[in-house]
Structure 1
């Protein structure tokens, strides 16, 4: 059986340095850490989780919940978090919530969460007070934990700014009547109270249209599930009723992929007749014809940012700092870029 001493000897470092490198501690120089990780991989070393827990009170296991594995972006994000966590010496237990309050509540009180050093929850739907209470005793990072800014460690995708860029892009490319696909109409007087990804993306698209001099109308907003089939079926129904639009701003990429296929199946040219944009920048969008123009959010950056916050919080508690959970919560806004791949460029 390969031991930590074997890894240290192969890498030419002390046992403590090897241990710190495998735990992802920043006190180890990057080149030394790389040498230790390479030695561990060559030897097939696997940490003894039980022994590590007994000696440190930690398991080096992270809990991760995502809304739905059927969606492309959450699945890619879970893979990125798992890969990056493994490189930092952590294993990941992944579960999906299906946007269920009850599932989230059971997950927080389960034996699984108790063996995890910390938890990342993506797109939480449970009451904020319960999340805040959990964060006081357990390292926790929320992705798009709207309403919990300043109360828990949070990372936010650019729902408003990204969608505003997408709708402005359509107008800049000659669109004069843009449909918003994937959410319910949100009156402008309720924009400030937008508390979900759907509402914030609708707000962003609406604000982008208005700043570009185009109207935001309830008649141009169509809700549907955030799946390819839902986007396809909704667009087919829209085409049966009307064809007076020249742009479709979709709230995520799967909706846009479905809508694009429905348009082309109906003989409508994309982007010459109708331009289409999505949100996420998923890899699948590169392989459509035309490629899907999208607001791109880098899953590797999302994964790294969430893990940075969580592991830092775990290390604080392990080192005896802020062990009561009172260290100030942090909030990080992610970047985006608008990737022009063809479907949104009429000019």
Structure 2
């Protein structure tokens, strides 16, 4: 096992300098600190440093892991986490896994072995036992991880409340026949896999509870604009008797905004106008802060996750763990808020 002497030798500094750097003392120049940190990571010294950091100080760095930083949902979430962390003078290291189980495991081991005070993770492909083995007691907050009982502090997207908000709006506007659009189809890994399945269940339950449809009123597609286009094709395709599925409905509830935008485009290409012929409602509010959204025709009616609230709750839970490393308590589970955004599509 590597020692501080090994780290000092690797970094080309004295043991006292290496020790001061590892403690985050200001007397050490930033460039020297980085050399020492790099040496510690390479030698795997961080495993012995975690408890020492928690007792004597903080590196001021947390790590965030998501499947795809280019996906709008995660772009919003990571940005919000960075902002929430900065309010507490914490730096954020970002890692993505590409929905790949091997990459996910590798990234987890790497960031758990680096010099980070805590971790905020969106995990898709690692089972509960393996996750606990990798992370141990390292301060960790999971995002949209549905283990029962919970392994770590967890923050969920507002699945149930956002679906109820959406269907309450649709009922209030007088829509009577709604289909739910969005499903995994041929996509093996998608954002929040377990959460998305729960979201579909929430939507189908709301559909039945409000008397707007039943289990058959569901169009399966993947979680993308292309999926929305495919859903439009399915809805508008004529059957053998000349009827079209879309004629059964006056509104579509999409499981995310990407699907909604693809659906609107696909319906337009088929000569179906939104909202005159059929309404389209989105979910997640991925583009709520996009400056170009007000110029889309029609603007999208959707219910957005409060990404700032979700990030604040995650960072707050993480800081609590970092500040109280020896305290024993049951994992906490919190849910982010949501907000209705009324556009022109429904």
TM-score by length of 2: 0.73
Aligned length: 286
Deviations 1:132-153 (A, max 9, x none): 3445421110111112454210
- Structure 2, gaps ≥5 residues long: 1-23, 38-48, 186-191, 239-243
C-alpha separation between the residues in 2 aligned to 1:106 and 1:177? Answer: 47
Match of 1:267 in 2: 271
TM-score by length of 1: 0.73
Match of 1:10 in 2: none
RMSD: 2.9
The structure 1 residue matched to 2:220, chosen from 200, 223, 232, is 223
C-alpha separation between the residues in 2 aligned to 1:48 and 1:327? Answer: 38
Pairing 1:301–2:309 present: yes
- Structure 1, gaps ≥5 residues long: 1-22, 24-44, 186-193
C-alpha separation between the residues in 2 aligned to 1:48 and 1:176? Answer: 66
Post-superposition shift, 1:332?
0.7
C-alpha separation between the residues in 2 aligned to 1:132 and 1:106? Answer: 14
CA spacing shift, 1:83–1:335, aligned 2, 3 Å = closer
**Which secondary structure does the structure 1 equivalent of 2:120 belong to?**
strand
Alignment of 1:266-285 (within 5 A): 266-281=270-285, 282-283=287-288, 284=290, 285=293
Pairing 1:205–2:196 present: no
Q: Is the Cα contact below 8 Å between 1:61 and 1:115 reproduced in 2? A: yes
C-alpha separation between the residues in 2 aligned to 1:253 and 1:99? Answer: 20
Q: Is the Cα contact below 8 Å between 1:143 and 1:155 reproduced in 2? A: yes
CA spacing shift, 1:116–1:227, aligned 2, 3 Å = same
Post-superposition shift, 1:112?
6.0
Q: Is the Cα contact below 8 Å between 1:147 and 1:195 reproduced in 2? A: no
C-alpha separation between the residues in 1 aligned to 2:317 and 2:61? Answer: 15
Q: Is the Cα contact below 8 Å between 1:153 and 1:309 reproduced in 2? A: yes
Pairing 1:253–2:257 present: yes
